[in-house]
A = this chain, B = another copy of it.
């Protein structure tokens, strides 16, 4: 099973191990004939450097850890695609772990990854996460960390996400422009920027259009028990004295499930109630009705975050952290058609 090693090549060609190593890295110290000889032999015998040995020697593993809530989430997997794309292009391996929206499991993932010797960490924290001390400690120990999608102010590092405030603002402004006036908002229960920014965007759009904010129209759902808490939220909204004529939903999961719940309750969309939400599904056109969405450049978020992390790994001394916010895109479909 064993792969061929430098020593094997050296023995056959009657050279020293160091010469072979240098020939393969095209060092100026080695003559052209020797280089050619070694290169050809290595190629012919399919030599590949042992990653463990190299990693041990260099104190690097050329692998990065990624912690996400769940691989099994279309938006997340789109970001992972972007991360993978950039890392593969730069010869870094990806080790992906899932927090399953559970803070304890998130800590455990991070610990395992760190112990496994990753060169850097890409993390999108759980909605529960409020304590960033653990991450800050690793950061102080020299581990490069980049936050993506779900950001927090409690840790200072590179961060990549979309402009959630503007995305939310545009969604609500779009509803208002199309004649909707009583706009509800369903968000996830969390202290992350993502949540608060989208909420703030909602409020700002209302106030900019002279619509009074009404807290009865705003619901925060428990992500760990979404089905049930969302049904309750929607039923509460629809039994208000002054019923909403539109809903702006803040996450992918909430958007699609709200559509399901509203359909099940036999509301006509958008006649009875309009719906727009953050979502990256490529099936929005197939929905009943086609769903208006705020679309995020998921692939770009991932690849940019990876780019920032690899830069951090290779230039550890630089400490000017930046936060990159990409633009969202409003995709208008049947679920928010202008009111007749």
- Chain A positions within 8 Å of B, measured between CB atoms, are 1-3, 48-53, 55-56, 59, 61, 63, 70-74, 76-78, 80-81, 84, 88, 93-98, 111-112, 114-117, 141-143, 256, 259-260, 263, 281, 283, 285-290
CB-nearest residue of chain B to A59: B2
Residues from chain B with a CB closer than 8 A to the CB of A285 are 260, 263
Return chain B residues, CB-CB under 8 Å to A70.
81
Q: Is the CB of A50 within 8 A of B117?
A: yes
Question: Which of B59, B116, B260 makes the CB contact (< 8 A) with A286?
Answer: B260
Closest Cβ of chain B: how far from A144's Cβ, in Å? 10
* Given known A1-B143, A143-B1, contact A52–B48 (CB-CB < 8 A): no
Nearest CB in chain B: distance from A55 CB, A: 4
Q: Which residue of B lies closest to A259 (CB)?
A: B286
Chain B residues closer than 8 Å to A111, beta-carbon distance: 48
Which residues from B are CB-within-8-Å of A112?
88, 93
Q: Please name the residue on chain B nearest to A288 by beta carbon.
A: B288
- For residue A167, give the distance in angstroms from its CB to the closest CB of chain B: 21
Identical chains in the assembly: 2
- Shortest CB-to-CB span from A88 to chain B, Å, is 7
* A72 and B81 in contact, given A1-B141, A53-B56, A97-B88 (Cβ under 8 angstroms): yes
Instruction: Tell whether, in the assembled complex, residue B51 and residue A116 are in contact, meaning their CB atoms are under 8 Å apart.
Output: yes
Q: Using CB atoms, name the residue of chain B closest to A137.
A: B46
Pair A289/B288 contact, Cβ less than 8 Å: yes
- Name the B residues within 8 Å of A141 (CB-CB): 1
A51 with B117, Cβ < 8 A, contacts A286-B259, A288-B287 known: yes
User: From A49, which residue of chain B is reached at the shortest CB distance?
Assistant: B115
A2 to B116, CA, bound (A): 13
**How far apart sit A48 and B50, CA to CA, in the bound complex (Å)?**
22
Question: What separation, in Å, do the CA atoms of A113 and B49 have in the docked complex?
Answer: 12
27 A-B residue pairs with CB within 8 Å: A1-B141, A2-B59, A3-B115, A48-B114, A49-B115, A50-B117, A52-B117, A53-B56, A70-B81, A71-B80, A72-B80, A74-B74, A76-B77, A88-B98, A88-B112, A93-B116, A94-B95, A94-B96, A96-B96, A256-B283, A256-B286, A259-B286, A260-B283, A260-B285, A283-B287, A288-B288, A288-B290
Chain B residue with the shortest CB-CB distance to A115: B48
Q: What is the chain B residue whose CB lies nearest that of A111?
A: B48
Q: In whole angstroms, how far apart are the Cα atoms of A283 and B289 in the complex?
A: 13
Given contact pairs A49-B115, A72-B74, A88-B97, enumerate 14 new A-B contacts (beta carbons under 8 Å).
A1-B142, A1-B143, A2-B59, A3-B115, A51-B115, A52-B52, A71-B81, A71-B84, A74-B74, A74-B77, A84-B98, A96-B96, A281-B283, A283-B287
